[in-house]
Structure 1
Amino acid sequence: MINIKKTAGIIGANGYTGSELVRLLAFHPNVTLSFLYSRSNSGTKISDLYPDLTTVCEMVLTDQPEEVDILFLCLPHKESQSWLAQNKINEETLIIDLGNDFRLNGNFENRNFIYGLSEINRKQLIGAKSIANPGCFATAIQLALFPLAQKKILNDVYTTGITGSTGAGQSLQATTHFTWRNDNISAYKTLKHQHVEEILQQLASFNKNEISLNFVPWRGDFARGIFTSSTVKTDLELSDIHQLFRDFYADEPFVKVSEKAIDLKQVVNTNRCVIHIEKSGNVAVIHSAIDNLLKGASGQAVQNMNLAMGWEENSGLNLKPIAF
């Protein structure tokens, strides 16, 4: 049987999430990359910017988009909407936005963007034409809280989370210099992170009572990955919480609930989320770990594409974690 591949284009292919999409789609059985768009690096081979793509993809970046079946928007936050307004896209084209333009308000012209966290929105994502990819911290934190939200027992949540330097994007900033980031950890956007509103909006669909999320994000001295710890009060026994999480994620291909302690290297270079739960008295802590560039961005975008197109959900995502 002949496999007729769908065409895909990436807007903002020169960034970290864009280059990760190139790496994933170059080996996807159902996709052919048609163009890689970049305003700042037009005329440059993607492998000259990212040597790890040598022999994987030698395409030249362009500032002229083409008509494709699937369009990924990997632009800085708040730029996707203006780009779409300036470029007419076929209404049959599947658009997946990896920015934050449509996560809270998914309406744009005649498109209604579906929030792309498959673990809660799988049915809505099947056949969708417009998808808003969740944020990286938002993904890790929500996956740690959804089973408790479904039981309507969430009230005050206290979360800390640490992220790698790639979470800040490719543009050089004072806090991404090697000399500053190496052997260093710092808090940032304390209690004011942009993902909090996104998280609360989704949790509200499960847990109608008011939830308070107190989130302290940290910058880590490593390149990629997110590790979060969410503290909640509950009278449920630890064994009951474990069962609750196992039942909730029983059919999820990329979420693993572990009774053993977890670490970041279990998920780096994968589309997985691993979760571990601890409890003392009436206080429970839910740890979750993801790769911020994969399950937190490009891998999740491919997962959403697979669902929207009716393909196997794990197509192109059978990735092994980095061990050493």
Structure 2
Amino acid sequence: MADRPKVAVLGASGFAGALAARLIDRHPFFALGAITARAEAGTRLDELYPHHRVARTFVEPDLDAIGRDHDVAIVGYPHGASSEAVAALHAQGLLVLDLSADFRLTDPALYREWYGDVHVAPDLFGTAVYGLPEIHRDALAGVRDAGRIVAGPGCFPTAAILSLAPLARAGLLQDVIIDAKTGVSGAGRKLQRTTHYVDVSENVHAYGVAGHRHQPEIRQELGALGMDPAVQPVFVPHLVPADQGELVSCYVRATREVTADEVADLFREAYADERFVELTTAEPGMRDVQASNVARLRTHVDPRSGHVLVFGAIDNLWKGTSSQAVQSLNVAYGRPEDEGLPV
């Protein structure tokens, strides 16, 4: 195909960046350009991650060269390190998809509270399109014309927001508890190296109990969908002995009495035409969605307590990060949404 849009992946030695490079490398419309890494420059990606089968060599990041030679950049840096590169590439006219948290929030005070940093690109803060296509498809479709950045959602927020969006739109969220489980890849490649096998194997433990950084992101997006601003969802993640995958169990006290059929109808109406959301009558598990862009959801109304229960499973590296970025990129370019993405 002539004149295929060229996509650079910055931070391609990390879990998310490497997977993004793999998906772009196999994409029938986009062309993979530079893949960057500092410590691994000169090494091939398929040497670091043989299972991705990407025979490309990491290069040092050169933002000027990337800006000249590419149409799109996927930035896989950690929060705080990402915004400077995103701003520079955006200024050169590239469509930038940021996988960090640097552009997800819209309130700068919240960013400082949860990330403790002064944002290095304050003029761009709050201007990005939140890259969750099932919720922000129209904005993503116009992102190129508007010259906006795409802020890739966090993996936990992806699962939680998809699990709760139909209830938020219906004004049914009164009290919300989100009990989340994740595999160790959610900690990232650098931290996974310091996670001892004996601490993870045959063990489950909560973390971020005093406040996880994904909490304000979840609240922001559910609030935009109609959740009462006074509602403060409780969010507690747990580390489980799995490589990758996420399961959120959401316990909701509704604003009024609802039936199981009513809740099921809300979800069917919301996701009837969504290629990557599956509704099931069986409780979903992480393995059900492994290495796919699918979110698998199950609803239930407890007849004794009246609570609405929603269970959502995603692959944290795929739908939770990299394949969702490619899905957003497909939308931005008017391509079929599932192009280049295995179910």
Regarding TM over 0.5, the answer is: yes
1:10 touches 1:35 (CA, 8 Å); kept in 2? Answer: yes
1:127 touches 1:310 (CA, 8 Å); kept in 2? Answer: no
> What is the correspondence of 1:207-286 to structure 2 with a 5 Å cutoff?
207-209=226-228, 210-234=230-254, 235-281=257-303, 282-286=306-310
Using the size of structure 2 for normalisation, the TM-score is 0.87
Q: Percent identity?
A: 33
Instruction: Report what 2:94 is aligned to.
Output: 93
Deviations 1:33-72 (A, max 9, x none): 110011111111111111113xx32111111432311100
Instruction: Report what 1:160 is aligned to.
Output: 179
Q: Secondary structure at the match of 1:41?
A: coil
State the alpha-carbon separation in 2 of the partners of residues 310 and 108 from structure 1.
Answer: 30
State the alpha-carbon separation in 2 of the partners of residues 96 and 132 from structure 1.
Answer: 6
Instruction: Report what 1:322 is aligned to.
Output: none
Shift of the alpha carbon at 1:199? 0.8
Instruction: Report what 2:112 is aligned to.
Output: none
Paired letter, 1:221: P
1:35 touches 1:61 (CA, 8 Å); kept in 2? Answer: yes
Instruction: Report what 2:72 is aligned to.
Output: 70
Deviations 1:128-151 (A, max 9, x none): 141000000000001111000001
Instruction: Report what 1:105 is aligned to.
Output: 106
Q: Cα RMSD over matched residues?
A: 1.8
Deviations 1:180-232 (A, max 9, x none): 21111110001511111011111111225222211111001000000010001
Paired letter, 2:131: G
Deviations 1:48-105 (A, max 9, x none): 111113xx321111114323111000001221113345x4545431100000000003
Structure 2 residue 143 is the aligned partner of structure 1 residue 128: yes
State the alpha-carbon separation in 1 of the partners of residues 324 and 18 from structure 2.
Answer: 14
State the alpha-carbon separation in 1 of the partners of residues 89 and 15 from structure 2.
Answer: 25
2:131 touches 2:153 (CA, 8 Å); kept in 1? Answer: yes
2:169 touches 2:227 (CA, 8 Å); kept in 1? Answer: no
Instruction: Report what 1:17 is aligned to.
Output: 16
Q: Secondary structure at the match of 1:227?
A: strand
Deviations 1:7-30 (A, max 9, x none): 000110000001111221111001
If each structure's helix is expressed as a fraction of its own residues, which one has the higher value? 2
> Greater shift after overlay, 103-112 or 202-211?
103-112
**Which consecutive residues of structure 2, in runs of 5 or more, have no partner in the other structure?**
108-120
Q: Secondary structure at the match of 2:224?
A: coil
Shift of the alpha carbon at 1:174? 7.6
Count of aligned pairs:
315
CA gap 1:173/1:251 in 2 versus in 1, 3 angstroms: closer
State the alpha-carbon separation in 1 of the partners of residues 208 and 261 from structure 2.
Answer: 35
1:170 to 189, 207, 214: 189
State the alpha-carbon separation in 2 of the partners of residues 73 and 101 from structure 1.
Answer: 11
Instruction: Report what 1:142 is aligned to.
Output: 161
Instruction: Report what 2:225 is aligned to.
Output: 206
1:174 touches 1:180 (CA, 8 Å); kept in 2? Answer: no
Q: Secondary structure at the match of 1:155?
A: strand
Shift of the alpha carbon at 1:31? 1.2
> Greater shift after overlay, 310-319 or 168-177?
168-177
Using the size of structure 1 for normalisation, the TM-score is 0.92
Paired letter, 2:337: E
**Which consecutive residues of structure 1, in runs of 5 or more, have no partner in the other structure?**
320-324
CA gap 1:84/1:263 in 2 versus in 1, 3 angstroms: closer
> Greater shift after overlay, 207-216 or 179-188?
207-216
Paired letter, 2:218: I
CA gap 1:147/1:89 in 2 versus in 1, 3 angstroms: closer
1:175 touches 1:181 (CA, 8 Å); kept in 2? Answer: no
Shift of the alpha carbon at 1:3? 4.9
2:134 to 90, 96, 119: 119
Structure 2 residue 55 is the aligned partner of structure 1 residue 58: yes
2:168 touches 2:222 (CA, 8 Å); kept in 1? Answer: yes
